[in-house]
Amino acid sequence: MNEPSASDALLNETRRKYEEERARRVGSERNRYLDSGRTAKYLSDPFTEYRDREPLNASPTALIVGAGMAGILTAVELLKRGIDDFWIVDEAGGFGGTWYWNRYPGVRCDIEAHSYLPMLEEMDYSPSERYATGKEIRNYYDLIARKYQLYDHLLVHTQVEAATWDGEASTWRIETDRDDVLCSQYLVLAVGILNRPRIPEVPGLGRFGGDSFHTSRWDFRVTGGKELGASPRLADKAVAVLGTGATGIQCIPHLADASDMLYVFQRTPSAIGPRDNHETSEKFPADRDVGWQRRRQENFAAIMRGREVERDEVQDGWTRYFAAARNTPRPPGMSDEDYRRHVELADFAIMEEHRSRIDREVDDAQVAEILKPYYRYICKRPAFHDEYLSVYNRDNVRLIDAPAGVERVTSRGVVANGVEYHVDLIVMATGFTAERTPLEVRGQFSIFGESGISLGNKWGEGVKSFLGLMTHGFPNMFFTPAPGQQAVATINHALITSVAAEFIGGSIAQLIEENIITAAPTSRAEEQWCREVREKFVDRSDVLSACTPSRANFEGDISQVEALNSNYGGGLGDYFGYKIILERLTGRLLLEQLECSWAHSTDLEMPSERANLVQANMRKGDINLCDLFIP
Ligand code: NAP
């Protein structure tokens, strides 16, 4: 028998440690969050005053649900094609989606701004820093909204309550909590992804005598100060923060500065790589030729997908660590088993780099140990920050290791590991319902298609879609890409959102131009797409089941893995293959490209006159959707 190698011993020891740490965190109790009926008090809008208005009765061409990035980009694409008869509805008091709600101190996007802020070339805008603040992003959306006069289309503080397809009128009937009734020809669901805040169901939370809020509803009346400013009212206060994910680590340094005493309750430490933020000049980046932004975005996407590129344009933690951990190169001739080991060792090296950073930055060895992430890099969304770790060298900051979460809240504070910590304020940096949350839950309303079936019912056993953008039986309805919904997920969400908005805008314009009244994917097109998604699905349950609980592994419940609830092309998805399909199917080339438009039309159900025409052309050209599935 061969002697075990040094790397075998290392792997075994690492696996043992990872399993030990995982075991401290698994358990059904961890996923107890208040249901939507009990969260109202935490979800009201602290930023914009609610104003009464008369109910609206209208029959627009399109209704877009969601005024975040996806809603804004879809609206712009409609306007660019001459469609200006639409409404945008949002429960928020303005544009911005994620960036409307998340105004906590320290909020920034950790995707570089020159890739993340959409339409930079058209807007002739240069982000001021490599990683933009939430405020800069929101102001930028506002610039777009003003340029395109989108405020004229916006219904704020309005929650859709139901959307029902009216087959006789061939329109969507949309009812809202403002008693609006909109009968719209097209419905676009741009409802967001991580948009439902999770409020932990901690016993006693309701009896807490101090203040408490979720980070996505930061209450400046409690903290004092303004966005990007100090929080003067916390100077003599003790504060508890629950959660150390991407949000927690961004607001904790600020709270440490602002408060008299800060208690950080950590369930699982994040892997925190270097941020290296800095101001950028008007001349950044060097490539400013026409089309530079899409090239830059696609360079980043290529690296994330493991494609070879001439140059890494972005060169940050995502490209350095995330891409390396997900796409570890396979040396020629290496067996599957050896490759798995090779990948695990590469992941270990990345995590060791993160763990040794903690040793360098945190003075107290015991505190440093608690902060160390013991799981594989791919198990959890990574974070990036340069000021977070050293916060634990301050006298007024205390880290509490609470792997199973906090026990309870009393009238005076938070209890963890049997100890009560007295605080004046509890900040819940406890995140949002997972990316794969069903679309109707993310939207908070039911959608009833042809024959009255709800989307929730239709997708009860898995998503069924065409392109991850439309679904059979729900005519004239588009939804924007979300992870696990059969489209593609790009780490830089702006990229897939921009591409999808172009497709949706282009398709609606084409359908209108062709006088098509209703269009939905046929069941055949949908089945083909589902087959594509299934066939390319890569089951990584074995790796994920050894992970610490996180959104990536359904909080440890691997039984929820379902091929249909994944992305086109496996993993995050094949962005480049997907884009080719969309380009071929989009009415971008309009009717000059007869094949494309016929191919597109053949997979849409349409009124009989039109269908006959299409059928006739089908017989002539015999074009099949399969021809368009380019690898
Ligand atoms: P998150 O990643 O889900 O983190 C939530 C944190 O709260 C975790 O540390 C979690 O512990 C902890 N937690 C949850 N329930 C708890 C409980 N009952 N008691 C104690 N702790 C509890 O949420 P997030 O930090 O808000 O980030 C959400 C997502 O927003 C990110 O993944 C990212 O996609 C996005 N985001 C992006 C940026 C950006 O720069 N682009 C910035 C912020 C957020 P466990 O880890 O044990 O679950």
Q: Which helix (H) or strand (E) holds 155?
A: strand 154-155
What's the CA-to-centroid distance between 210 and ligand 1, angstroms?
23
Task: Please give the number of the atom of ligand 1 that sits closest to the Cα of 249.
Answer: 25
- Residue 3 confidence (pLDDT): 56
> How many of the other CB atoms lie within 10 Å of CB of 445?
19
Q: Is 192 in the pocket of ligand 1 (CB under 6 A)?
A: no
pLDDT of 450 reads 92
- pLDDT band of 1, cuts 50, 70, 90: very low
**Is 252 a pocket residue for ligand 1 (Cβ < 6 Å)?**
no
pLDDT-based confidence at residue 458 (cuts at 50, 70, 90)? very high
Q: What mean pLDDT is predicted for residues 281-294?
A: 91
Q: How far apart are CA 176 and CA 158, in angstroms?
A: 7
Number of H helices, E strands in the chain: 22, 22
Of the listed ranges 16-20, 119-123, 131-135, 283-287, the least confidently predicted one is: 283-287
Can you tell me the distance from the alpha carbon of 216 to that of 219, in angstroms, rounded to the nearest whole number? 9
Residue indicated by tokens 């691997």: 558
Per-residue pLDDT tens over the stretch 319-350: 999 999 999 999 999 999 999 999 999 999 99
pLDDT in tens, 488-519: 999 999 999 999 999 999 989 988 887 778 88
- With a 6 Å cutoff on the Cβ, whether 98 touches ligand 1 is no
Is the shortest distance between the CB of 205 and ligand 1 below 6 Å? no
Give pLDDT tens digits for 61-101. 999 999 999 999 999 999 999 999 999 999 999 999 999 99
Residue 31 CA to residue 199 CA, distance in Å, equals: 10
Atom of ligand 1 at shortest range from CA of 244? 9
Question: CA of 542: how far to CAs of 229, 351, 462, 547, in Å?
Answer: 46, 19, 21, 9
Which ligand 1 atom sits closest to the C-alpha of 402?
20
pLDDT of residue 623: 34
**Ligand 1: which atom is nearest the Cα of residue 550?**
48
Bigger pLDDT: 552 vs 425: 425
- Amino acid identity at 127: P
Candidates 430, 433, 554: which one to mutate for ligand 1, based on the most atoms within 8 Å of Cβ? 430
Per-residue pLDDT reduced to its tens digit, 135-159:
999 999 999 999 999 999 999 999 9
Sequence-distant contacts of 7-11: CB under 8 A, at least 24 apart: 7/341, 7/345, 10/345, 10/348, 11/341, 11/344, 11/345, 11/348
DSSP letter assigned to residue 601: H
| pLDDT value, residue 593 | 26
Q: Fill in the amino acid letter for 37.
A: G
For the cut 60, the answer to whether the pLDDT of residue 19 exceeds it is: yes
Q: Is the CB of 105 under 6 A from ligand 1?
A: no
| Contact in structure between 140 and 283 (CB atoms under 8 Å) | no
**Percent over 90 (pLDDT), the chain:** 78
* pLDDT attached to residue 591: 28
Ligand 1 within 6 A of CB of 301: no
Which single residue is written with the structure tokens 């100060």? Answer: 225
Q: What Cα–Cα distance (Å) separates residue 372 from each residue in 14, 247, 402?
A: 13, 18, 14
Torsional sign, CA 433, 439, 443, 446: negative
Read off the pLDDT band of 171 (50, 70, 90). Answer: very high
605 pLDDT band (50/70/90 cuts)? low
Q: Are 407 and 415 in contact (CB under 8 A)?
A: yes
Predicted confidence (pLDDT) at residue 365 exceeds the cutoff of 50: yes
Cβ atoms of residues 407 and 428 within 8 Å: no
* Amino acid present at 414: V
Q: For position 445, what pLDDT does the model report? A: 97
Confidence check: pLDDT of 370 > 80:
yes
Query: Is the separation of the CB atoms in 86 and 154 below 8 Å?
Result: no
Q: Is 108 in the pocket of ligand 1 (CB under 6 A)?
A: yes
Does residue 604 carry a pLDDT above 90? no
CB contact at 8 A, 436 and 557: no
Q: Whose CA is nearest to atom 18 of ligand 1?
A: 200
The mean of the pLDDT values for the chain is 90
Give residue 434 CA to ligand 1 midpoint distance, Å: 10
Distance of alpha carbon 454 from alpha carbon 569, whole angstroms: 27
268 lines ligand 1 (CB under 6 A): yes
Among the listed ranges 31-40, 105-114, 166-175, which one has the minimum average pLDDT value? Answer: 31-40
Ligand 1 centroid vs 395 CA: distance in angstroms? 25
Task: Give me the mean pLDDT over the 251-278 stretch.
Answer: 98
Name 422's bridge partners.
Answer: 413
Distance CA 567, CA 218 (A): 33
pLDDT digits (tens, 9 = 90+) for 400-443: 999 999 999 999 999 999 999 999 999 999 999 988 899 999 99
pLDDT mean over 553-557: 86
Specify the residue with its C-alpha closest to ligand 1, atom 14: 430
Q: Which atom of ligand 1 is nearest to the CA of 383?
A: 40
Nearest CA to ligand 1 atom 23: 431
Predicted pLDDT of residue 353: 97
What is the structure's pLDDT at 586? 66
Distance between CA atoms of residues 553 and 547, nearest Å: 7
Which residues does 560 contact at the CB level (< 8 Å), separation at least 6? Answer: 554
- Please check the confidence at residue 608 and state whether its pLDDT lies above 70: no
The string of pLDDT tens digits covering residues 561-574 is: 899 999 999 999 99
Give the span between the Cα atoms of 385 and 393, in whole angstroms: 16
Q: Is 109 left (phi over 0), alpha (psi -120 to 50) or beta?
A: beta
Let me know: does 399 contact 370? Beta carbons within 8 Å.
Answer: yes
